[in-house]
């Protein structure tokens, strides 16, 4: 998949690993292209049930590679730079939206610092696991910019306005324990157990019936924007649909 990223299949689990250690896993155009390809495989293949995104080395990612494709906007005439960057950021929006909409679990396993676009990527995933050495930051504001790929909006939905302002507006870095406290991550694991725990979690997710899990993901995401009555109607419609197709009866036998 290229020199900056490795993609591994282990049965139903597809793992994408950032391997650009010399750049602190700064995300290049090549890495985004590889991530899109891996996501397409997940969406098209029924045998792939879980996607894990992780990194190799001390960093999950330091953020965007500003010496790569994104830097091209800097060489546009001043009056065109805004448009150039909007187009580039739109590509990231579409990728992160696609990750969020995938009806299969996407696990972000941050084994080290997760900065900038890495945190924006994390916020588009369903489950976030961090090592005790992980820190999270949106440093763009310190450079006179903002997180432009949906990071501020998704972060706010996850942790609420107060903590989102602490990270995105005040440019503060938070550690793994704080991330767990505010709900940014669901689990924090010691480095020596990190890889094993992520594999264990992914293997467990792969055993859950795909139809129910996919619907649960859609219902949770929809509930954020819907009124309570409509959301409850959707819950009821979804579960009765699973019973009507025989899905529940088929899988219930495992527990009898």
State the catalytic residues: 120, 140
C-beta of residue 180 within 8 angstroms of C-beta of residue 187: yes
Nearest to residue 130, comparing CAs of 59, 64, 28? Answer: 59
Q: Which residues contact 186 (CB under 8 A, 6 or more apart)?
A: 127, 128, 129, 180
State the burial class of residue 236 (Cβ atoms within 10 Å of its Cβ: 0-12, 13-18, 19+). exposed
Helix axes 228-244, 210-223, angle to 10 degrees: 170
Nearest to residue 120, comparing CAs of 102, 136, 141? Answer: 136
State the burial class of residue 252 (Cβ atoms within 10 Å of its Cβ: 0-12, 13-18, 19+). exposed
- C-alpha–C-alpha distance, residues 59 and 64, integer Å: 13
C-beta of residue 180 within 8 angstroms of C-beta of residue 127: no
């Amino acid at each position: 998949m290229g020199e900056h990223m490795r993609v591994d299949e282990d049965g139903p689990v597809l793992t994408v690993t950032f391997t650009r250690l010399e750049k602190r896993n700064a995300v290049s155009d090549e890495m985004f292209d590889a991530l899109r390809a891996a996501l397409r495989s997940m969406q098209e293949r029924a045998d792939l049930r879980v996607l894990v995104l992780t990194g190799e080395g001390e960093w999950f990612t330091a953020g965007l590679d500003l010496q790569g494709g994104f830097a091209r906007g800097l060489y546009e005439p001043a009056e065109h730079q805004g448009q150039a960057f909007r187009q580039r950021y739109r590509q990231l929006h579409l990728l992160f939206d696609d990750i969020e909409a995938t009806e299969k679990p996407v696990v972000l396993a941050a084994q080290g610092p997760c900065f900038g676009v890495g945190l924006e990527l994390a916020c588009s995933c369903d489950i976030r696991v961090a090592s005790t050495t992980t820190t999270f930051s949106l440093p763009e504001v310190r450079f006179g910019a903002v997180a432009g790929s949906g990071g501020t909006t998704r972060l706010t939905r996850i942790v609420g306005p107060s903590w989102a302002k602490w990270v995105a507006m005040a440019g503060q870095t938070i550690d793994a324990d704080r991330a767990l406290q505010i709900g940014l991550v669901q689990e924090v694991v010691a480095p020596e157990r990190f890889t094993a725990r992520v594999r264990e979690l992914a293997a467990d997710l792969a055993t859950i019936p795909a139809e129910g899990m996919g619907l649960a993901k859609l219902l949770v995401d929809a509930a954020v924007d819907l009124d309570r009555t409509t959301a409850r109607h959707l819950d009821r419609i979804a579960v009765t649909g699973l019973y009507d197709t025989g899905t529940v009866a088929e899988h219930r036998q495992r527990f009898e």
